[in-house]
Structure 1
């Protein structure tokens, strides 16, 4: 819906807004297309359903899409189409998530840290990034082009319409701690208004901790 967890101007969580209610409503409207175990599913399980033909549509991350194009994995390999995630109302923000993997050198490593740094630098260099396509989407501009893979155009469209990041210390905590509430609302164990109230209370408490 293009709304942040926490309003950037007021610092107030946004879970009791009309946009949050609409987001819940839109999500629940997709239930007929979901597996009954959707709230506990992980990407490998979704991918397996695509393999065995028990699912016909899925939202997947880049690294797992390449497996769907391999005839050794699935008899439908040449039949898949790839598209950017849908939008609630045809707007500029898609039903999207952008995850970027990174590297870290542990403080207690016994390996030479300069060597590790050089290995990391080589692995994300221009040549290595281009070689990683289409199995991955390197975080290096220009590595992926529309001709790179069957799903590159969809990836580029999705990336261009990903929601802006929320670079705040409370974002990940709010996401993690409200997730059970989302699952309860989706499963019908909690009403949408009650879910909004619970999430607003959780987020308000988390933000307050960081502002003490």
Structure 2
């Protein structure tokens, strides 16, 4: 495949290595320093774009790809207030859009198990549920997209909670997401069910970015030739 990388930070470089190792071609890299070069890419010269950028740039990048017929895989977080617009644009353009807050296969299995456990634990009122996410110091958004997706998986069963709240354990009417930033942490997510008697935890710890990159390239391979809006549940048949 001819892959365009939009976003060429740590994640973009790891995706590049993974894609090349699988025999794909990187036809271009676009970052904030050369953002104007995005206009050089269309469906005529690009099979798929993989987009990992900052919250303020993501929607514009995704929109460009959809308008110009380029299937786009996005892993940017912090822009989801405009996700419905991107979905509507994809459907209008009859394009292909794949979004996930996290492309690790392990994390998406974690999401799956998280939803299942929440559906059972909601009946046990003695347990208070919370989410904790830990990332490296350069992580821009807080809470992380993966932390929010984890919380939403719990809230689908905990209908008594009024959404989630960031770093405010005193707000008992909402699900608390605790965000921590430490040096050299790829990504840790832990769901805790705590009572006076005992504690239950479900967690995922990423050791490297390789799993994220592998999943993003898999998504790009899977998306080409399809029309519509997709996510990891579709690809992994969860």
Name the TM-score class by shorter chain: under 0.3
Larger fraction in helix:
1
Larger radius of gyration: 1
- TM-score for both structures, normalised by structure 2: 0.25
